[in-house]
Chains A and B, each alone.
Chain A
Amino acid sequence: MSTFILMKILESAPSRYDRGIKMLTFGGVEKAYDNLVAPVKKGDTVLDIGCGTGALTMRAARKGARIKGIDINVDMLDIAKRRINDAGFSGTVEFYEMGVGEMDTLKTASYDVIMSGLCFSELTNDELRFTLKEVKRLLKPGGYFLLADEVIPENILFRVLQWLIRFPLVIITYIFTQTTTHAVRNITLKIRGIGFQIQSKKLSFLKSFIELTARKPEER
């Protein structure tokens, strides 16, 4: 009923997934994540969009925040749950099998921080637009939006460079994981577009990886 190769692809995907993504960023994600969670304070309510195996979730939990991690991949969530339990944070962290398209069921203005690591580059354009709209609705006034992801450089020269470097990596990653990502385009503009203020922005890997802290304005 299935074609041989496709079935193999499906079976091998979940466990190899993380590895593929790490290869694409040369393991540099780890440090970026450490820096990214800086604004998270003890007692904050935090939403982790596309939490995966819980890399960001864990960092925020260590700071004493209460976190809700959402993801659509049950195998990733299983790993995340195990890790969080082992670290003793099961009291402050909850995971939900939920896609970004279902975020409209969450309560308005209920989060101090919303964060997302390497998930936006997996979304379709429609999903990205929808997600930003929901992030705006869900954050409390003055709340932080933290993003780490792969982006398409704005400068054409860097764009060509990125393509040249990325191309072989994409092939390798594809062989291992049968997935690839779509670097996000104009994300800073899009975040400004929903009325957020950019607080800090760091580009690395030839301007192809963004670490961004934005803030929803306080109500006047």
Chain B
Amino acid sequence: MNSLKYFIINAIETMLRMVPFPTKTGVIKIGNPDRNSPVFLTCNFHLTVERVKRALKGMDCYLLVAKSKGINVWCAATGGLFTHHDVISVLKTSGIEELVDHRKVILPQLAATGIEGKIVRQKSDWHVIWGPVYAKDIPAFIRNKLKKNVQMRVVRFPFVQRVEMAIAWAFPISSIAALLILPFWRHLILPLSALIWGMSFFIFLAFPLFENRLSARGKRIGFIVFDFGRGGIQLALWGFFLLLVFGYAAAFHQVNANFILRWSFITLVTTLLFSMDLMGSTPVFKSSLHEDRLLKISIDNNKCKTAGFCELVCPRNCYEIDRHAHNTTIPRADYCVQCGACIVQCPYDALFFKGSDGKILTPEKIRKYKLNLSGKHLVKVG
């Protein structure tokens, strides 16, 4: 029964993944917690809360739900809608301080892009511990005495998540397309929806096949296309869908110009729609919406004290820390998704972004305005 409900919630909210889904904030008791039980915190995106609750099943602990305007942890924290204020607020106002004796709160690692552990510490007595990226790793994280291995630190884009993203794209696009053509081409709704869902699943399921061809850096071409460097793969994709259409036409219709023109146009538009922010829909590439923002993660080794926070919060495992030689390097900088987590958390301000034109985006700016506005602020920084 509960599983059924969980499944339905998951299905509906996956289809509507693109819209915020706020849920009630405050303390949730899991199992039979006592005064020493661990305290976890998450955002108030309904689906996330359901998933975290499920992951914590069987443990005795408290779960704090903090206000993130109903948006998932990573997007909200990176965009400045989930900040230390929201964390402090739930710590102070939910009554958790009366329920436990300790002052340690475990946050999802992806919140590190916007929540400053240091400020939470200064303004409340609470100590922030960066938990794993995915809630399902929480039990292992606890068994491991709150230590994370690499697997718990990195974002992945496995099959299930790709299916979810395929649905999250296909549902709104096909709904809007259906509404748009309802007055004129009612009979096309079904084949068009089928095409959109098919394309979406094809693109996301085949992701591992072309993943390596996606360029994480390099000049983006003109309009809203995949970041394939030169837009070649869109063409290939479009060609593929055209072939399908022609094949269908040849098999069932007499090939007629009207049919071919119409469907060529429709497939082109849908291919472009899907390419809007495909990269941004994956956790393993940076969003391509801002072509002006090709930022390179950089380190000032004179300031770095090998404190290791960067390694702890980087979802792409870009860092390598040699604690004996007291040396921090970024050997895997090419994998960087420009989330800014490392910069925000570095206690010595040793990290920063460098723009392609040599301009610098400082930790202060990122902490204050988060990354949603850095496009604007980057221009001003000299």
Residues of A within 8 A of B (CB): 1-7, 9-11, 13, 72, 74-75, 97-102, 104-105, 124-127, 129-130, 178-179
Given contacts A3-B281, A7-B79, A7-B289, 5 further A-B contacts (CB under 8 A): A4-B277, A4-B281, A10-B81, A101-B90, A102-B89
In the complex, per-residue mask of B339-372: 1 if CB is within 8 Å of any chain A CB, else 0: 1000000000000000000000000000011001
The residue from A5, A72, A125 contacting B18, defined by CB atoms under 8 A apart = A5
Min CB distance A183 to B, Å, is: 15
Tell me the bound Cα distance from A124 to B94 in angstroms.
10
Residues of chain B lying within 8 A (CB to CB) of residue A10:
71, 75-76, 79-81, 372
Residues of B within 8 A of A (CB): 17-20, 25-26, 67, 69, 71-72, 74-76, 78-81, 83, 85-86, 88-95, 123, 155, 168, 276-277, 280-287, 289, 337-339, 368-369, 372-373
A2→B67 contact, CB < 8 A: no
* Residue in chain B with minimal CB distance to A71: B85
B123→A6 contact, CB < 8 A: no
Tell me the bound Cα distance from A33 to B67 in angstroms.
28
Q: Do most interface residues of chain B lie in helix, strand or loop, or is the interface mixed? A: loop
Tell me the bound Cα distance from A154 to B232 in angstroms.
62
The residue from B75, B81, B93, B281 contacting A127, defined by CB atoms under 8 A apart = B93
B88→A1 contact, CB < 8 A: no
Residues of chain B lying within 8 A (CB to CB) of residue A9:
20, 71, 79
Q: What are 13 inter-chain pairs, A to B, with CB distance below 8 A? A: A1-B74, A1-B280, A1-B284, A1-B337, A6-B71, A6-B75, A7-B277, A7-B289, A98-B85, A102-B88, A104-B92, A125-B26, A130-B92
A127→B89 contact, CB < 8 A: yes
The verdict on A72 contacting B85 (CB below 8 Å), with A101-B91, A102-B92 known, is yes
Q: Do most interface residues of chain A lie in helix, strand or loop, or is the interface mixed? A: helix
The verdict on A99 contacting B283 (CB below 8 Å), with A74-B368, A75-B373 known, is no
B93→A7 contact, CB < 8 A: no
B25→A4 contact, CB < 8 A: no
The verdict on A99 contacting B289 (CB below 8 Å), with A74-B368, A126-B26 known, is no
B69→A2 contact, CB < 8 A: no
* Residue in chain A with minimal CB distance to B22: A180
In the complex, which of the residues B72, B276, B277 has the most CB atoms of chain A within 10 Å of its own CB atom? B277
A124→B67 contact, CB < 8 A: yes
Tell me the bound Cα distance from A7 to B168 in angstroms.
15
The residue from A11, A99, A124, A178 contacting B372, defined by CB atoms under 8 A apart = A11
Residues of chain A lying within 8 A (CB to CB) of residue B85:
72, 97-99, 101-102
Min CB distance A178 to B, Å, is: 7
The verdict on A1 contacting B92 (CB below 8 Å), with A7-B372, A11-B79, A11-B373 known, is no
Tell me the bound Cα distance from A4 to B169 in angstroms.
10
In the complex, which of the residues A7, A72, A97, A130 has the most CB atoms of chain B within 10 Å of its own CB atom? A7
In the complex, which of the residues A1, A3, A6, A98 has the most CB atoms of chain B within 10 Å of its own CB atom? A1
Min CB distance B74 to A, Å, is: 7
Min CB distance A95 to B, Å, is: 13
A6→B20 contact, CB < 8 A: yes
The residue from B79, B86, B155, B284 contacting A6, defined by CB atoms under 8 A apart = B79
Tell me the bound Cα distance from A98 to B25 in angstroms.
19
B289→A126 contact, CB < 8 A: no
Tell me the bound Cα distance from A4 to B281 in angstroms.
7
B74→A2 contact, CB < 8 A: yes
Tell me the bound Cα distance from A72 to B79 in angstroms.
14
Residues of chain A lying within 8 A (CB to CB) of residue B284:
1
Min CB distance B155 to A, Å, is: 8
Residues of chain B lying within 8 A (CB to CB) of residue A130:
92-93
Residues of chain A lying within 8 A (CB to CB) of residue B19:
5
Residues of chain A lying within 8 A (CB to CB) of residue B277:
2-4, 7
Tell me the bound Cα distance from A155 to B83 in angstroms.
37
Tell me the bound Cα distance from A204 to B337 in angstroms.
50
* Residue in chain A with minimal CB distance to B315: A1
Residues of chain A lying within 8 A (CB to CB) of residue B69:
178-179
Residues of chain A lying within 8 A (CB to CB) of residue B86:
99
In the complex, which of the residues B89, B95, B373 has the most CB atoms of chain A within 10 Å of its own CB atom? B89
A7→B123 contact, CB < 8 A: no
Residues of chain B lying within 8 A (CB to CB) of residue A126:
25-26, 89-90, 93-95
Tell me the bound Cα distance from A6 to B67 in angstroms.
16
Residues of chain B lying within 8 A (CB to CB) of residue A125:
26
A124→B339 contact, CB < 8 A: no
